[in-house]
Amino acid sequence: MSIGGESLSHTTDVKPQGTPRISGYEAAARKAEVHRNILLTIPALLVLVLAASGPLLVMLLYSFLAPGDYGGVVWQPSVDGWFRVFLTRDIFDDTLMLQDAHVTIFWRSIKLSSMTTVLCILLGFPTAYFIATRSDQTRNLWLFLITIPFWTNLLIRTFAIMEIIRNEGIVNNLLIFVGVIDVPVQMLYTDFAIMVGMTYVYLPLMILPLYASMEKLDFGLVEAGYDLYATRFRVLRRVILPLVKPGLVAGSILVFIPSLGAYVTPRVLGGGKNMMLGNLIELQFGQGQNWPLGAALSIALLAIVMVALIVYVRTAQRSTQAHG
Amino acid sequence: MRHSSTDTASGGTSAIEAVNVTKTFGSGDEAVHALKDVSVTIRENEFFTLLGPSGCGKTTLLRLIAGFDHQTEGTILLHGEDISLLPPFKRPVNTVFQNYALFPHMTVAQNIGFGLEMLRKPKAEIENTVGGMLRLVKMEELKTRRTDQISGGQQQRVALARALAPRPRVLLLDEPLSALDYKLRKDMQIELKRLQLETGITFIFVTHDQEEALTMSDRLAVMNAGRIRQIGTPREIYDHPAERFVADFIGDTNFLTADLLSADGGAISVRLTSGREITLECDHPAAASRHLTLAVRPEQVRLTADGSASPLNGVLENIVYFGTDTHYHLRLQDGGSFTARLQNSRERQELFAEGDQLGIVFDPETVQVLRD
Ligand SMILES: Nc1ncnc2c1ncn2[C@@H]1O[C@H](COP(=O)(O)OP(=O)(O)OP(=O)(O)O)[C@@H](O)[C@H]1O
Ligand SMILES: [Mg+2]
């Protein structure tokens, strides 16, 4: 109450100036809000600096140092780590060559992550739509079911998938039993297995943001689309998709980024051969004992993620604007 | 081309026909009977209004006609053909939604052009029609605005233009003017009426506002609790309400109870609670019951200082001045209340005072015998 009284008494003695006194209050209120916002963001900023920027700077530094003989770095500037990201010297004649193994791994990582993202969209979109169109109580039940996989350790779940798709696993046995195939199909330790595993692991990260934006969708707009002669497909493309795009963008980012750096899934389901970037980086810090290369690879991965993000968000924005 | 409302009511082919339509939401104990055995024929190029209190099933009926919901029982015909199985995008019917349902990711112009675009009309034609619609609803300046950045009244006008642009055979309007201010509302009422006459589109219009219903409609249906209570021209509904609900819902009415004395063809003789006997015209068989309810409109009544010859007497309790007319609230001998509405004129100014014992006089022709 005292605030109201105060402002009243102030407004009574407004000086005959051009700008009204109110703007002074507005400015004060805005200033107070800025202060509040700074206070609110301090914890997050601290975590960011300590847990993200700090290690990142260390990595950046390490990538420009020379490797130690048994891991670690020696304090001697070198671009050898960066050099080895994509290039290698022939052991016989010392000529520069493309490091085929690395290129393959980069390409596999990008390909599998993109395919996983697309697969998650294809599976997650109908699921989220289904949940969003249920009644309030059943919705919560469905969401709860979606989160159940999070209760179990990732490694255990991945081994479970292994059990399902290995040569003597359920899928192969079933196919043989039905008579579709005579000999087991090799699924385990292939790119396919990695993709299946990653799709399974990251699907909830697509469904949840998609659901969040679909829940806000006014289904009256879908009816309006039908009313105005749009077929089901065109309602999907012209009405639903543009409106749930924020969820789609968020879900894609949440799936694509961890897929690109995935470690456990390709390690278990891809075997030793089908490495992805995460495994390659781990190799450099472990067996390979080339920390600068590992650091350079990590930062290269980060760069890919950032470029992909910028391109993706830009395109998403542009297509939204084009449609109005 | 302007024909009187009674003409339209008596001729023309049917645009929409609902036959014994029932709509039940849910089942078991929680079942909501939104529509109960509704039958109505809406004629081509008719301005037909659904009028009724909130929750009586107006929106539900429109949704069945548009195809968003399916009737539990009954048939809906469009120009004589059963459309029950057609999806909404195959029905030449457009809706102005109660909550507008404008596409928030499109501009005003894109919203209006959406239907034509979906019908794959040529670009030039779309632009042309959208331009015309923008002019019609006076939204030209805001055509590039996004629809979440315009006011409620402006949204309503865009919703109207969007539904009109594809020139549907039937336009369904669910309280399209409710968010407009008085002046704009009056303008849009005239505009809508003009549009309907010019385009030949059949309008099915939903409103809460009885004045709007009476002034705009060729015919109207009064609904209550999922049923259509009466269908007729505004005049028929107002002057000859068939039952208590209709008489009460449309305009102000005085209800009188009376005992039936004798019936002779179209004329019946009744005794009022005052003991007086009057003879009334009554063309429906309601007169079979002994106790009747009569309806008398307040403006059909005269008051006299000498009550000895009048059918009713009452004590003047309250006088309320309304500018063009004055409302006199009387207390009858049987304890009931009665309102008379007299037009103000220079002579009548200080005729009556509160506390006066007055006679209430009315023409037997203006008395309605109600079905209960
Ligand atoms: N999807 C639904 N599920 C259950 N009940 C519903 C549903 N839609 C409408 N109803 C019920 O059906 C009845 C009629 O609703 P309707 O929307 O047709 O009313 P209305 O006449 O349009 O009212 P208003 O003037 O308030 O818009 C109401 O009792 C309403 O609660
Ligand atoms: Mg309604």
ipTM of the complex: 0.81
Check pocket membership of B222 for ligand 1, CB cut-off 6 A.
no
**Mean pLDDT calculated for residue range A250-255:** 94
CA pair distance A38, B96, nearest whole angstrom: 47
| Subunit contact A229:B106, Cβ cutoff 8 A | no
Predicted local distance difference test score (pLDDT) of residue B183: 86
Residue nearest to atom 7 of ligand 1 (CA): B25
C-alpha torsion angle, residues A91, A97, A99, A104 (rounded to 10): -130
Closest C-alpha to B296, from B360, B253, B339 = B253
Q: Tell me, what's the pLDDT at A324?
A: 40
pLDDT of residue B8: 37
Residue A5: pLDDT over 70: no
Q: What is the pLDDT of residue B310?
A: 83
The finding on whether B27 has its CB within 6 A of some atom of ligand 1 is no
Query: Hey, whose CA ends up nearest to atom 30 of ligand 1?
Result: B55
User: A101 at the B interface (CB within 8 A)?
Assistant: no
Is residue B221 scored above 60 in pLDDT? yes
| Number of domains within chain A | 1
Position A4 confidence tier, pLDDT thresholds 50, 70, 90: very low
Q: Select the more confidently predicted residue: A319 or A267.
A: A267
- Residue A92 inside a domain? The answer is no
Please state the atom number of ligand 1 nearest to the C-alpha of residue B56: 21
What is the pLDDT at residue B245? 92
In a domain, A69, yes or no: no
pLDDT value of residue B12 = 58
- What's the confidence (pLDDT) of residue B261? 85
Q: How confident is the model at residue A315, as a pLDDT?
A: 84
Tell whether the model's pLDDT for residue A145 goes beyond 60: yes
Residue A183 has pLDDT above 50, yes or no: yes
User: Given a cut of 90, is residue B46 above it in pLDDT?
Assistant: yes
| Predicted pLDDT at B348 | 58
Q: Is residue A23 part of a domain?
A: no
* Closest CB to B105 among A220, A224, A323: A323
Q: What's the rounded mean pLDDT across residues A126-151?
A: 92
Q: What angle do CA B281, B287, B289 make, to 5 degrees?
A: 155
Strand ranges across the sheet with B312-321: B301-304, B357-362, B312-321, B325-332, B337-343
- How is residue B35 written in tokens? 């529509």
Choice between A120 and A150, residue whose per-residue pLDDT is larger: A120
Task: Kindly indicate the confidence band of residue A7, based on its pLDDT and cuts at 50, 70 and 90.
Answer: very low
> Residue B34: CB within 6 Å of ligand 1?
yes
Chain A residue with the nearest C-alpha to that of B107: A324
pLDDT-based confidence at residue B285 (cuts at 50, 70, 90)? low
Residue in A228, A232, A235, A236 to test binding to B, most B beta-carbons within 10 Å: A228
Which A residues 139-168 touch B at CB under 8 Å? Answer: none
Show residues of chain B in contact with A223, CB under 8 Å: 66, 68, 88, 97, 101
DSSP conformation class of B58: H
Above 70 in pLDDT, residue A9?
no
- Give the model's pLDDT for residue B247: 92
* pLDDT at residue B329 is higher than 50: yes
Does the C-beta of B31 come closer than 6 Å to ligand 1?
no
Interface test with A, best of B70, B89, B91, B155 (most A CBs within 10 A): B89
Query: Which of B65, B51, B60, B53 has the alpha carbon at shortest distance from B32?
Result: B60
Residue of B nearest to A235 (CA): B118
| Domain containing residue A176: CATH number | 1.10.3720.10
Does the beta carbon of B152 sit less than 6 angstroms from any atom of ligand 1? no
User: Which H, E and C letters describe A163-184, residue by residue?
Assistant: HHHCCCCHHHHHHHHHCCCCCC
pLDDT at B162: 96
Alpha-carbon gap, residue B95 to B171, rounded angstroms: 6
Assess whether pLDDT exceeds 60 at residue B64: yes
Give Cα separations from B292 to B272, B297, B345, B366 (angstroms). 10, 17, 35, 16
Under the banding of pLDDT at 50, 70 and 90, the label for residue B110 is: very high
Pairwise CB contact (< 8 Å): A324 & B106 = yes
Quote the strand ranges of chain B, DSSP E. 14-25, 32-43, 47-51, 73-78, 81-82, 93-96, 170-174, 202-207, 219-224, 227-232, 254-264, 267-272, 277-281, 291-296, 301-304, 312-321, 325-332, 337-343, 357-362, 368-370
CA pair distance A308, A306, nearest whole angstrom: 5
Structure tokens belonging to residue B305: 């200082």
Mean pLDDT of chain B: 88
Mean pLDDT, range B3-9, rounded to an integer: 37
Name the residue facing A226 among B88, B119, B163 (closest C-beta).
B88
Closest CA–CA distance from residue A320 to any residue of chain B (Å)? 8
Of B371 and B27, more confident: B27
Alpha-carbon gap: A316 to the closest alpha carbon of chain B (Å)? 13
Residue in B with minimal Cα distance to A228: B115
Superfamily for domain range B6-92+168-244:
P-loop containing nucleotide triphosphate hydrolases (3.40.50.300)
Nearest to B118 among A221, A230, A324 (CB): A230
Alpha helix segments (H runs only) across chain A: 2-12, 22-47, 54-62, 80-86, 100-132, 136-147, 154-165, 170-178, 191-216, 219-227, 232-235, 241-260, 264-269, 277-285, 291-323
Q: Which residues pair with A88 in a beta bridge?
A: A97
Q: What is the mean pLDDT of chain A?
A: 87
Residue-wise pLDDT for B132-178, tens only, equals 999 988 899 999 999 988 988 889 889 999 999 999 999 999 998 88
Ligand 1: residue of B58, B173, B208, B209 to mutate (most ligand atoms within 8 A of CB) is B58
SS (H, E, C) B131-179: HHHHHHCCCHHHCCCEHHHCCHHHHHHHHHHHHHCCCCCEEEEECCCCC
pLDDT(B60) > 90 = yes
Question: Is pLDDT above 60 for A222?
Answer: yes
Contact residues for B269 (Cβ-Cβ < 8 A; gap 6+)? B260, B261, B262, B263, B277, B278, B279, B280
Cα of A243 from ligand 2 centre, angstroms: 25
What fold does the segment set B252-370 form as a domain?
OB fold (Dihydrolipoamide Acetyltransferase, E2P) (2.40.50)
Is residue B50 lining ligand 1, measured as CB closer than 6 Å?
A: no
Q: How far is the CA of B57 from the centre of ligand 1 (A)?
A: 6
Taking the CB of residue A33, how many other CB atoms lie within 10 A of it? 10
Contact B101 A218 (CB under 8 A): yes
Q: In chain B, where are the structural domains located? A: 6-92+168-244, 252-370
- Decide if pLDDT at A139 tops 80: yes
A221 touches chain B (CB under 8 A): yes
Query: How many beta carbons lie within 10 A of that of residue B168, not counting itself?
Result: 21
Give the pLDDT score at A99: 86
Q: How far off is chain B from A249, nearest CA to CA, in Å?
A: 16
CB-CB contact of A161 with A197 (8 Å): yes
| Beta carbons of A228 and B114 less than 8 Å apart | yes
Interchain CB distance below 8 Å, A227 and B94: yes
Instruction: Supply the pLDDT for residue B71.
Output: 94
∠ CA(B174), CA(B180), CA(B185), 5° rounding?
90
Which residues of chain B have a CB within 8 Å of the CB of A234?
118
Q: Whose CA is nearest to atom 18 of ligand 1?
A: B57
Beta bridge partners of A16: none
What's the rounded mean pLDDT across residues A204-226?
Answer: 94
* Strand B291-296 versus strand B337-343 pairing type: unpaired
pLDDT of A90-138, one tens digit each? 778 888 888 888 999 999 999 999 999 999 999 999 999 999 999 988 9
pLDDT grade for A319, boundaries at 50, 70 and 90: low
Nearest CA in chain A to B98: A220
Nearest residue, CB atoms, A224 vs list B97, B110, B119:
B97
**Cα separation, B21 vs B70, whole angstroms:** 10
Tell me which of A15-29, A175-189, B209-223, B305-319 is least confident: A15-29
